[in-house]
Structure 1
């Protein structure tokens, strides 16, 4: 049996847990601030706050694999640097120390492909590009990455850092702060005005949730250890591209307004995924148009 601890049971965490539970030899512990589903034979949920002083040692005891997904903020809601460090970096270091003390074999950290590289020279960012975070969210991600690498250097614990782009799709909270495509499709189907920051020229690397989960599984199962992987579609699309596709494939008429651009948003963020392509099990990524159609069908089915 393989014991897996997943810290953070939000959009990604829930989908990852579902993926792990497909293997009957896995036993999963899900850690989250709030718990809305009961435990069962192969999944046990632990309610707790990701904060300095938590007993991470008891949480990860006997774990073979730990997945760190927790963040107390997202781009656009991040706090000043000191607050981000206290809320995210320090508890992460305590988690890593606990994993080292408990003999955890591997720790996987989900970092941010969209913020750690900062202002891009309008080409896809490679894992070898130096981090240059453009906001405090990216800053804390880089600090956590480096703390994990340092911890692993002084122990036998292996690590993998996955710099994920922008996942979207069914299961994501359309009222939450993340998930541009999910939010826009939800607003369109409910005849709400779509609010865009800036002129729509911001470019992002959007990946459908099923592809993102399979990519994470591929990296865990087949990827190198003690290294960093970018994970996205490797293709950029502007916000205007996204709204144009929504206008074309969604039957509802949409209304768009523009708000001032935000300083936390880099103008161009696309990932070079050549390293992931060497181990991928995907025949191809879900296209932006198909992903939007699937997201629309999900929300339409809930009406």
Structure 2
């Protein structure tokens, strides 16, 4: 297949492109704001296209001849999202233009990376794919709008789609100074004897998944999932922020210094995914445990100081 990956230089994208390239079966094109230098790109056997994900970009040329388009791009992140109009202009409109280009160029399938942590909104139980979206922040809102735009494009054409609602990936390769990746950031701070900062009292619950498992699950959906379907991808296990901090303190040989910051209204109090649908196609028997994931992340940062 010819596969185009938008956002292929991000944390998730790099790992996914690496796995797709290792098979030796696919022709891969990566689109992102920043791409490797010419020599590095040539050695990777991947075609890189530098560009900004924005309205007016020539998506038709980008996806021409593609069998599969994987849309990983978001110009904002949870907790740092913009107002509704900015989210629509920065994420929704370019996505609609991308999907229209895919229809015009007769792309076979589009896989869209949505957000399992924000589209469902506040809940008290693990969310199923059939639960109605009810986002409480603009990040989740734009994800829901893009999902719906993709479904509409599919209904009005022969384009197939898959929506993946991913929980909270973490691990080696994630930017420890970035906005996303609670576990990655806390492990990095512990290793460097920095004060660990958390928002609120630590009662916020999330569904954390190690990056290697997240990538394998995405590949499972692409290879074995139903067309025109939505899949939750996570571990299906809820862990509070306080429990994460305790696990880091018990797992790592570092002294933990902790401080609490005021909670944020955009944070969903409880977000855990029901993954029964994914389990029906999964190649993963046992997910990487929280303790093992913390140690793998710690060992990576010990070896690759940033």
Same fold by TM-score greater than 0.5: yes
* TM superposition shift of 1:42: 3.2
- 1:39 is the counterpart of 2:26: no
User: Distance in 1 between the 2:69 and 2:304 partners?
Assistant: 34
Cα offsets for 1:39-92 (capped at 9, x unmatched): 237311100000000000000010000000000000111000000000000000
2:234 counterpart residue number: 232
Indicate which of 94, 101, 108 corresponds to 1:105. 108
* TM superposition shift of 1:22: 1.3
1:87 counterpart residue number: 90
* TM superposition shift of 1:15: 0.5
RMSD: 0.8
1:64 counterpart residue number: 67
User: Distance in 2 between the 1:302 and 1:11 partners?
Assistant: 16
1:22 counterpart residue number: 22
Is the 8 Å Cα contact of residues 26 and 42 (structure 1) preserved in structure 2?
no
Is the 8 Å Cα contact of residues 108 and 161 (structure 1) preserved in structure 2?
yes
1:152 counterpart residue number: 154
2:81 partner SS: coil
1:189 counterpart residue number: 191
Displacement over 4 Å in runs of 4+: none
* TM superposition shift of 1:132: 0.2
User: Distance in 2 between the 1:97 and 1:226 partners?
Assistant: 16
User: Distance in 1 between the 2:119 and 2:203 partners?
Assistant: 20
Residues 104-143 of structure 1: pairs in structure 2 closer than 5 A: 104-120=107-123, 122-143=124-145
2:254 counterpart residue number: 252
* TM superposition shift of 1:254: 1.1
1:297 partner SS: helix
Cα offsets for 1:256-288 (capped at 9, x unmatched): 000000000011000000000000001110000
1:48 counterpart residue number: 51
1:294 partner SS: helix
* TM superposition shift of 1:150: 0.2
1:290 counterpart residue number: 292
* TM superposition shift of 1:36: 2.8
User: Distance in 1 between the 2:209 and 2:232 partners?
Assistant: 12
* TM superposition shift of 1:203: 0.1
1:257 partner SS: strand
Cα offsets for 1:4-34 (capped at 9, x unmatched): 0000020000000001001112010000001
User: Distance in 1 between the 2:5 and 2:185 partners?
Assistant: 26
User: Distance in 2 between the 1:289 and 1:250 partners?
Assistant: 9
User: Distance in 2 between the 1:193 and 1:48 partners?
Assistant: 37
User: Distance in 2 between the 1:179 and 1:25 partners?
Assistant: 31
Would you say how many aligned residue pairs link Structure 1 and Structure 2?
301
User: Distance in 1 between the 2:143 and 2:3 partners?
Assistant: 22
2:2 counterpart residue number: 3
User: Distance in 2 between the 1:36 and 1:156 partners?
Assistant: 34
1:115 partner SS: coil
TM-score normalised to the size of structure 2? 0.97
1:262 counterpart residue number: 264
